[in-house]
Chains A and B, each alone.
Chain A
């Protein structure tokens, strides 16, 4: 029985950071990550009719984003494949081994770390979602983006003491939430 509904008006505020973080940890290119997130939202708009309501909005959007990321890698791998044809076998000591195969896989070491970081990122964004909009915005700018106090105060038109009150409340709420879900 369908239980979830789509509300595209809230998508950017609610999910853009989460989707962006998910993407950048996989493509390592900020501009490309932004494009993929935008493509995901556009594709989601086009396929709204296909949404059955069995999964949450977030899960549905992530499913679309995953396909976008796969398409992106398919594209760059097809270019890479053309380049690989020009590489020769290293026939001196190891007959028939591709040069590539002799290099240790850099992703192998960090696979578990990446998985844990994904889950942690997920937990942080879920907690951030629960904060009031202003608290979430100030916390994000100060803690995740690392902006200085003056810049945030100018951008949001608040005083420094106001900022620290908001930060204090946000940190308390985040710590409470993370204690339940992660610590």
Chain B
């Protein structure tokens, strides 16, 4: 009986972790089920999910771009060489 309870009922921290993973589509169906169960009765989880979804939506809608690590390292290297020339 105890095992059954812990199977579907998760802690608030676990719910937040699953919610984070869900933002990147990395939560499994079972994890989403557990999150939904907690969502039904936990106010903290509900507000966390709402805020997290809002952040995901805002960043997606901004269409922002950034340099990847190798591009940044290359730029840094070129810049350091130029900086040395200036000094």
Contacts and interface: CB of A to CB of B under 8 A. Distances in A.
Interface string B1-45: 000000000000000110011011010000000000000000000
Given A21-B65, A124-B64, A178 B78 contact: no
A21 B21 contact: no
B62 A120 contact: yes
A171 B26 CA distance: 16
A149 B65 contact: no
Contacts of A65: none
Interface residues of B, number: 32
A68 interface: no
Interface residues of A, number: 42
Given A46-B86, A175-B54, A145 B79 contact: no
Contacts of A144: 59, 64-66
A145 B75 contact: no
Contact of A41 (B20, B56, B58, B79): B79
Interface string B50-69: 01101110110111111111
| 3 shortest interchain CB distances as A-B pairs | A17-B66, A120-B62, A12-B76
Interface of A: 8-9, 11-12, 16-17, 20-21, 24-25, 30, 34, 37-38, 41-42, 45-46, 48, 117, 120-121, 124-125, 140-145, 149, 155, 164, 167-168, 171, 174-175, 178-179, 182-183
